[in-house]
Amino acid sequence: MKNILIKPSKENLTSFVTFGSFLIFVSFFDVLANTFFNLNFTAFLPSKLSYFAPLIIGTIGLYLIRIEFSGNKLLDKININFNSSNFNAILTLIVIFALIKYIPPILNWFFFDANFIGNTKEDCTGSGACWVFVKVWFNRFVYGMYPDAEQWRINSAFIMLFALVGASFFVPLRLKKYLLIFLLFVYPIIGLKLISGGDFGLKYVETGAWGGLSLTFIVSAFALILCFPIGMFLALGRRSSLPAIRYTSIGFIELWRGVPLITVLFMSAVMFPMFLPDGTYVDKLIRVLIAITLFEAAYMAEVIRGGLQALPKGQYEAAKSLGMGYWRMHFLIILPQALKLVIPGVANTFLALVKDTPLIFVVGLLELAGMVNLAKTNPKWLGMAMEGYVFAGLVFWIICYAMSRYSQNLERKLSTER
């Protein structure tokens, strides 16, 4: 027993490692038995002590195997990465124990006790999630109240978009320019016309019926594409030497940044029509799009201005000394560098924008989260909030994670400081 009191050393490697591993094993055994079989071996101890027993035993065990330069590669690796001090040993144990305790119930809820088969709430007999809810409502979650018979129009609009974007990666550089112009200026009109209908024998579908994930995409995509150039010009405007342009930009940015998005949306729905002459009507969705775009443009402007300010003065002077005017200097020299610098910030704003889209519920437009909200209040499907929001959360996470990865890729691709 004297060995325990002295510092673990290389001389008694085998006995330390054996005894230490045994203690660690005991602690894990206790946690596993407790989690999966509801057995408590340390019940004879006072309840608080019994609760922490595995942690204490495990920490002692890890202390005993903490031998520097033991010669055993695996042991050294464990010690360096998980067990470099008593504090780190405790952290390691807490994390592992927490995973053992909480991962199984989560998996059970998600998969093993979940219900996938059936068409009504009554089919959900298990104790886990009722994915039947998501299955039955899936169509609504994606298309909102859009008529079932017309949903091919949304599908084809999005397939066309993905095909165009996909093609832009493969076409030769010479054609890329035209494809991009088509994508930015022609496609949105075609896509919107296809979805809203009214001409070419397509049935008119009013924007109030649009909804679900497709509306999330429509709102995000339009706001993303439009807020970027507006933000860019605002950023340039705020740095302009002409007072009129500078103060207009500052005023615009500070006005929109100082107001919560939800108020802006309310105003776009309630107050904006009051300023219009009688008889004119601007579609609710368009008003919302404009409101979100201008709101995000103000944030975008400040992000881009950060990039403009990070560029050394010498870049401006070099461009000027070569005879470039204001626009050439900015579009050829300054903006390409500044925008590259602010990719993380721009991605940040874009992600925030996508996650702000659920707020359009205040004007009665229901995108994905809004549809979930609506579905969970259906009398036949009460109590399904958890499943609905987990589903919505997952979908948003996938969208945002994809965007975040893309921005990282872009950063790497554009890096010239090799």
Enumerate binding residues for other proteins (CB under 8 A).
312, 314-315, 317-325, 328, 332-333, 336-337, 340, 414, 416-418
| Cβ at position 232, least distance to other proteins in Å | 17
- Specify the 3-state DSSP secondary structure of 183: helix
| List of residues 6+ apart from 194 with CB closer than 8 A | 153, 156, 157, 202
| Cβ at position 340, least distance to other proteins in Å | 7
Q: In this structure, what token pair is assigned to residue 386? A: 């958890």
Cβ-based nearer residue to other proteins, 279 or 312: 312
Q: Directed axis angle between helix 343-356 and helix 385-414, to 10°?
A: 160
Cβ-based nearer residue to other proteins, 290 or 343: 343
Cβ-based nearer residue to other proteins, 253 or 333: 333
CB atoms within 10 A of CB 58: 26
| Cβ at position 326, least distance to other proteins in Å | 9
Give yes or no for a contact between 9 and 67, defined as CB atoms under 8 angstroms apart. yes
| List of residues 6+ apart from 380 with CB closer than 8 A | 120, 121
Rounded CA separation 182/178 (Å): 6
| Cβ at position 417, least distance to other proteins in Å | 5
Cβ-based nearer residue to other proteins, 51 or 331: 331
Cβ-based nearer residue to other proteins, 320 or 405: 320
Q: In this structure, what token pair is assigned to residue 279? A: 């008889």
**What is the secondary structure of 254-291 as a DSSP string?**
HHHHTS-HHHHHHHHHHTHHHHSPTT----HHHHHHHH
| Cβ at position 308, least distance to other proteins in Å | 14
Give yes or no for a contact between 376 and 384, defined as CB atoms under 8 angstroms apart. yes
Q: Residue 115 pairs with which residues in a beta bridge?
A: 130
Give yes or no for a contact between 218 and 210, defined as CB atoms under 8 angstroms apart. yes
